[in-house]
Chain A
Amino acid sequence: MEFEGCSCFRQRLVLSTLSGKRVKIRNIRSKDDNPGLRDFEASFIRLLDKVTNGTRIEINQTGTVLFYQPGLLYGGSVEHECNVQRSVGYYLEALLMLAPFMKTPLRAVLKGVTNDPTDPSVDLLKVTAIPLMKKFGIDGDGLEIKVLKRGMAPEGGGEVLFTCPVRRSVKPVQLTETGKIKRIRGTAFSVRVSPQMANRIVDSARSVLNKFIPDIYIYTDHMKGASSGKSPGFGLTLVAETVNGTFLGAEVVSTPQGQGDPVLPEDLGRNCAKLLLEEIYRGGCVDSTNQSLALLYMTLGQQDVSKTLLGPLSPYTIEFLRHIRDFFQMMFKIEQQKPGEDEQKGGEKVLMTCVGAGYSNISKTIK
């Protein structure tokens, strides 16, 4: 399969790895002043090479053409130095998609930036993606994301441990009921700044959310010494849990040192709370960052009907759906659900329905 440009770079490589189809990407920033693959993309390719066996990667001299022939997903113990241009979340999102289909359970230690403003942070994925994976039958002791060290944006220095068990197949799901939000949890963290920052964040975030629900608890997490990374910063991750076990998350991080105006912790807390409200407004059984993950697992499920209620599709998800069609010849039935007249449950929802591709983990050994 051939593609142009480096948008959706991860999607293409991940789907290629899962479907076994080789991929050629041309014209990667060919018109750019600095053509070719960026360091973080190269680092991503290296990570893929580490978790697979027999992958063939060819990059031309300028880095504008990439040929990727996927091998088999191997897993095992992997340690990867992620590029600091993107946060660990960038790499972790791809690993979440691949991890259940490995030969041996994955235990990946990713080092780099744990929180930055562009990508979903490790904390957010921990509180939203992991419960989502559990719904697809990927659970057990092994499934865990752990922040060993926290590293903020420009310099990094964080360390994240991700472990995931392997599965032969993924269960079909019927996630059509969001349920009502019963509690809000969160983590306010601060590294290499005053620990008071976290408390200030918590107070401001609570002030917004208290109007809706009293059951709010925001942990403060101040890391010191070796586990505090190389750059200062602070941030907040909020997650709303519904009675049906849906987790909707939002997060805001302080602007990295030396990039743009600094933010006040109070503003940050309020913004984050508002983002969470926005996420709740969008609604659905899967939050907006994990839409593609949920859709991928639905695609790779057994040959049964899966349904998921999502909020409005993000542009990333729309691209992902197209790529799923290209790689797996799978189309989703997309039905829009308008909110009722007197209901006050946020915006439009989208009900995604598909028949799984009957994918089975071909890497796993049988004895």
Chain B
Amino acid sequence: MEKKEQKRHQHKHSGPKAQKKNRKREQGQEQDERKRNPRAFSVQSAVRMAKTFHRTQDIKTKKHHIPLVDRTPLEPPPVVIVVMGPPKVGKSTLIRCLIKNYTRQKLSDICGPVTIVSGKKRRLTLIECNNDINSMIDLAKVADLVLMLIDASFGFEMETFEFLNICQVHGFPRVMGVLTHLDTFKNNKTLRKTKKRLKHRFWTEVYQGAKLFYLSGMVYGEYQTQEVKNLGRFISVMKFRPLVWRTSHSYVVADRMEDLTDPEAIRLNPKCDRTVSLYGYLRGTFLKNKCQVHIPGVGDFSVADVSFLPDPCPLPEVIKKRALNVKERLLYAPMAGVGGLVYDKDAVYIDMPSGHASRQQEEVRPTTELVHSLIGTQATLDAKMAASKVSLFTGAAALTPEEVQENEKQNPMEIREWDEKAQRERRRAVFADEDDDEEESDDEEEEEEEEDEEEEDEEGLTTLKKEDEKAAPPVKKQKFEERVEMPAFADSDDELEKSEDDESEEEEDEGDEENEEMEEGEPVKRSSGPDSGLCSEEDDEDEEEDSDMDEDGDGIVKSKMSSKPPEEENLDTEDAEMGYETAGALRWKEDLAQKASEAYLRHQLATPNLRKLVYGTVAEKEEEDSNDEEELGGLFKVSRPEKSKKVRADAMDCSRFHPDSSHDWDQEEMLASIRDCFVTGKWEEDKDAATLLKEDDELYGDFEDLETGEVHKAKTKAEGENDDEINGDDDDDDEEEEAPQVKLDDDEVQKNKRLEKKRRLKERFDAQYDDGDATYFDDLKEEMQKQAELNRQEFEDVDDEVRVQYEGFRPGMYVRVEIPALPCEFVTNFDPHYPVILGGLGPSEGNVGYLQMRLKKHRWHSRILKTRDPLILSLGWRRFQTIPLYYIEDHNGRHRLLKYTPEHMHCGATIWGPITPQGTGFLAVQTVGGIKANFRIAATGVVLDLDKSVTIVKKLKLIGYPYKIFKNTCFIQGMFNTVLEVAKFEGASIRTVSGIKGQIKKALRTPPGAFRATFEDRLLMSDIAFLRSWYPVSVPQLYNPVTSLLMPVGQKDTWAGMRTLGQLKHDLDIRNKPNQDSLYKPVVRQIRHFNTLHIPKELQKALPFKNKPKQMQAKGKTPRDLQRPAVVREPHEKKVAALLDALSSVYAYKNKKAKAEQHAKHKEFLKQKDKQDAERQKRLKEERKKTFRAMGQKEKKKLKSSLKGASKDN
């Protein structure tokens, strides 16, 4: 069986063979295959050709998907990896190993999401999914990749399948199976078989060829490094598909939670509603401020404020190396307390890593450093907490010092802690602690104070800060920061805006209304932090121009504003926003007028700012503020009449834009000003017909007139050839004008022109030849591509703060979402092991209405579902309990109510629930509490329609009885109760049980409810007439969100909502008295009696005797005298009889014995005889054989001799 090394073929390099080959090759090269062998490529059959063409086109078009605009963000959020599996399968271990693999750090307790930087362009958020169907549902909605752990020693568990089904409903994320506990197999063959079996089962569930990983064994309680590394590589290169729901909704997987409620309020009422801020990466699509969100397991909330924070786990900035260095392998898991700080409810624990890990960390993470320094300072816990926020923020290692400072200012970590303590004292402690630091930090502290006073304004403040930096030269930055008093800045900023607006007034001359608006605008602009912070690009430019003035303004403002305590500002802000006036508002308004007037003078020539005009002010709101005119000063008083407010509020609602009175269209100048708007006017350079024509001429000017034989040459060609003469010869007006100017760099111009010409030529060529086979699909794709490009570029150069205003917060940002009025249980029962998801809701998705859906009972669920039994649905972000009604659509479009879902068929379901876009998938479970033995997913389906009313009907049969019958007419009673009811059903068709059709004619006066009806045939009194009708059913309005996150820790999987009727009956031990008629009783068959056959006498006579009934009497009893008497024996006779009996039995025995002997003898004899016979037969056979052989030989000889004779004759 050994393989022999075969000798390779030697190509000839010389000689005739090589020459021949060379010749062949040359010919082949120069000749096309088709040309060389044309017959092979000719059309044999047109039909077949058409068929093949069709087929290729079909295959091609099948591959097409509807092109979508690519909306993936440039810097995507971390990939959400959900590690899922039944308990004790190794989830935590796997996460730990993965973290160690990526970051070289060990995380002891996996608690909440863990974000890590896994590569140059990818970050991962690892979440462990516990064995609760609530968590499974929530996480399936946010997972990008699911690592599905399977205990190979046990096989698949129900949870795995349940989770797969959940995933399927909510858009299938990528799923990767991981087999663990493979080391329990001792036998290699069973291991292999199990692997194969599991793999194939997994494939049928996910897709053929889905990746299944094997983690073969444990080393010191961890998986093998190499295997984890491989898994990590797979994760790092994985691509994800966009899912419809997620691309149209924004969502945040919260990785931090802070309670912002006023501690005093909690003290007074521990069960008061909480204000909570949640942090996390924004995913999906843009998130708008003040939108509605749903937190699965808690409920719907409107967001009070959203702000974006610097990325706590940023990607490396510059990618120069192949691998990440240790500094860039960041780990962010606030819930697990990474960064040395663990936040508990009432304390902060500082975790000191020990051993070699700590040393490594010390260099890596500035955080740790700061934590160390913190410990060193021996300050109070409050102080530590205050400082800790500073430290945590520096966790974003890649920031510049300035940015770091800003970060520190914004540090989100601190907030919760502050609210728990009294704010004042703590703040003081921070001051004392940090006093010896530089003054800069001091300022920061001040800012922080402010910040926690007015958290809503945080965003605005940062904006200001940034703008400020932009406007002022860097040298001055220090100065600025020293005297930063945020509201003052806001004011100074507004000065600018206002003055600009004033000028815009002048320029635009829009009439007094705008004027009004602008003036009204000031107070709000000044007060509402975020608004004033906004600046468009134009504004920025302005600021740069007027930076000196800015500073002046600051000076003034600072002196005035610094006296004001921050609380008041806060009040102002809120007040102005609410549109109310308070005493606090008065003070700052005083300076406004002054400042405004100054600014007005200064900025007379600045450009108007439309954005401020539109968004910076809201007309109605300020009206109230400015009621007292003395505080507004002269400037404002003039332009606003007292009752202007009413006029505005109740102004005429008309979309017409009345013309500007200043334009007099009789004047020539005005007419001239729009001259170019018409095709008759002057065209732009690139669109002018003359130039275009000329270009065409250049391109296509070369032609020969075939009739005359004249040859036309393009003019420019000639120009190109003799460059020197061109200037003079050019016949184009524009060029003539330009010529003297550009004379010096003539060549340059010529070159450009040529290039331009080339480009145009190429374009035209492309258009001509590419468009030929460009399909609709290609066009569409290109359009989408263009749109995507535009989307990317439009706001690229805009500052983030401003950009957020236009677009909303874009996915990939790390955001802080503040939510007011959360139930206190959310905070008190917070368990980081349960995912907190903020799911953004689109417009009108927060409303409730009727939903029509297509539903199918899951084929693995053991029971069919009953109408009106409460069901828990997972739809959109939500999990809620509702009462569905099942229906089926009849052929005429009627929705007929069903009592139960069909077993293996789709049916309709209508529920009262949250408005969710059509086409959204959902799944239903009967309970989320506890773990039942069988498959929990009861049904799956999709939303079809949303409505505010339902159209389900159920069949109703009204029964009546005839009480008078005249031929085909009869009077029927018992169907209705009043004449009116009958009147409503006049003309309705009725039917009897026996099938006679009829019609209701008219009501009778008595008895009430009786009516006259006609039928197609005469009825019997025993007939029952019925009317088939349809009764509309109302859907119960139960919408009960599953609030599993509010349950106490450890009982979160015990949420139970409304019970089904069956459960209630079972729990309360209620039994219905069944209808006696419906009961099953044992079937007793009665014996049937048949009458005797009676044959008429005539017939009897005619019958033959044997068939005639016999007239014989039955035999009577034997008469007594004929009966034989019983014999009574004497004793002697008895003895005789006994003896005779004995003798006869002896005789019988002897007889029997003799017979048996005889029989045996005979048998023996027969055997003997058989034997002899057989021998005889044998002998005879041999003899016969012998004789026959002899005869045969004789015959043969005879034949031979005769043949011989014959041949001789021949």
Contact = CB atoms under 8 A, between A and B. Distances in A.
Contact of A355 (B286, B614, B657, B673): B286
Contact of A367 (B679, B787, B846, B944): B944
Contacts of B286: 303, 355
Given A303-B71, A343-B676, A7 B649 contact: yes
A119 B663 contact: no
Contact of A365 (B607, B682, B844, B944): B944
A10 B849 CA distance: 24
B843 A18 contact: yes
Contacts of A181: 677-679
Contacts of A6: 649-650, 653
B654 interface: yes
Given A305-B790, A354-B806, A359 B610 contact: no
B945 interface: yes
Nearest to B513: A315
Interface stretch (A105-113, A149-157, A316-324): A316-324
Contact of A359 (B289, B657, B843): B843
Contacts of A321: 614-615
A7 B945 contact: no
Contacts of B842: 357-360
Interface string B666-690: 0000111111111111110000000
B513 A4 contact: no
Interface stretch (B557-565, B914-922, B988-996): B914-922
Given A288-B657, A362-B918, A278 B948 contact: no
A28 interface: yes
B1049 to A, nearest CB: 36
Interface in A349-367: 350, 353-355, 357-360, 362-367
A53 B674 contact: no
A118 B289 contact: no
| Interface size range on B against A | 35 or more
Contact of A19 (B69, B607, B844): B844
A365 B944 CA distance: 6
A346 B944 contact: no
A313 to B, nearest CB: 7
Interface string B830-846: 00000000000011111
Given A213-B678, A274-B665, A302 B513 contact: no
B353 interface: no
Interface string B607-628: 1101101110011100000000
Contacts of A18: 843-844
Interface string A10-26: 11000000111100000
A328 B681 CA distance: 42
A345 B683 CA distance: 11
A46 interface: no
B709 interface: no
Contact of A329 (B290, B676, B844, B945): B290
B1085 to A, nearest CB: 54
Contact of B849 (A4, A54, A174, A292): A54
A333 B798 CA distance: 11
What is the interface of chain B mostly: helix, strand, loop, or mixed?
Answer: loop
Interface in B931-990: 944-949
A100 B513 CA distance: 33
A93 interface: yes
B679 A243 contact: yes
Contacts of A19: 843-844
Interface string A71-91: 110000000000000000010
A224 B646 CA distance: 44
Given A281-B663, A329-B289, A360 B917 contact: yes
Given A4-B620, A72-B849, A304-B787, A346 B677 contact: yes
A292 B653 contact: no
B656 interface: yes
Interface string B1185-1204: 00000000000000000000
Of A212, A291, A364, most buried by chain B (CB within 10 Å of CB) is: A212
A364 B510 CA distance: 42
A344 B654 contact: no
Nearest to A181: B678
A292 B794 CA distance: 22
B532 interface: no
B945 A365 contact: yes
Contacts of A341: none
Contacts of A291: 657
A29 B842 CA distance: 34
A241 to B, nearest CB: 11
Given A31-B646, A180-B683, A366-B919, A334 B673 contact: no
A278 B659 contact: yes
Contacts of B655: 93, 119-120, 289, 292, 314, 316
B790 to A, nearest CB: 5
Contacts of A120: 655-656
Contacts of A71: 948
Contacts of B807: 355
Interface in B639-667: 646, 648-657, 659-660, 663, 665
Contact of A7 (B651, B794, B948): B651
A165 interface: no
B288 A329 contact: yes
B27 interface: no
A202 interface: no
Contact of B674 (A72, A281, A333): A281
Given A7-B653, A182-B679, A305-B794, A362 B917 contact: yes
B681 A344 contact: yes
A331 to B, nearest CB: 5
Contacts of A329: 288-291, 808
B492 interface: no
A172 B918 CA distance: 22
Contacts of A363: 946
B92 interface: no
Given A321-B614, A343-B676, A10 B653 contact: yes
A357 B286 CA distance: 9
A264 interface: no
Contact of A305 (B654, B678, B791): B791
B847 interface: yes
B248 interface: yes
Contact of A366 (B646, B843, B847, B945): B945
B695 interface: no
B591 interface: no
A354 B947 CA distance: 31
Contacts of A180: 676-679, 681, 683
Contact of A118 (B652, B844, B849): B652
A252 B630 CA distance: 45
Contacts of B653: 6-11, 90
A103 B850 CA distance: 14
Interface string A227-258: 00000000000000001000000000000000
Nearest to A71: B948
A172 B673 CA distance: 32
A350 B610 contact: yes
Given A181-B677, A355-B286, 11 more contacts: A72-B947, A181-B678, A212-B675, A274-B665, A278-B665, A281-B670, A289-B657, A344-B674, A359-B842, A362-B918, A366-B918
4 A-B pairs with least C-beta separation:
A20-B844, A54-B948, A5-B649, A314-B657
15 contacts: A5-B648, A20-B915, A29-B650, A32-B650, A174-B790, A212-B675, A214-B680, A281-B673, A282-B657, A289-B656, A314-B655, A321-B614, A355-B286, A365-B918, A365-B945
Interface of A: 3-11, 18-21, 27-29, 31-32, 53-54, 70-72, 90, 93, 103, 118-120, 172, 174, 178, 180-182, 208, 211-214, 243, 274-275, 277-278, 280-283, 288-289, 291-292, 302-305, 312-319, 321-322, 325, 327-336, 343-346, 348, 350, 353-355, 357-360, 362-367
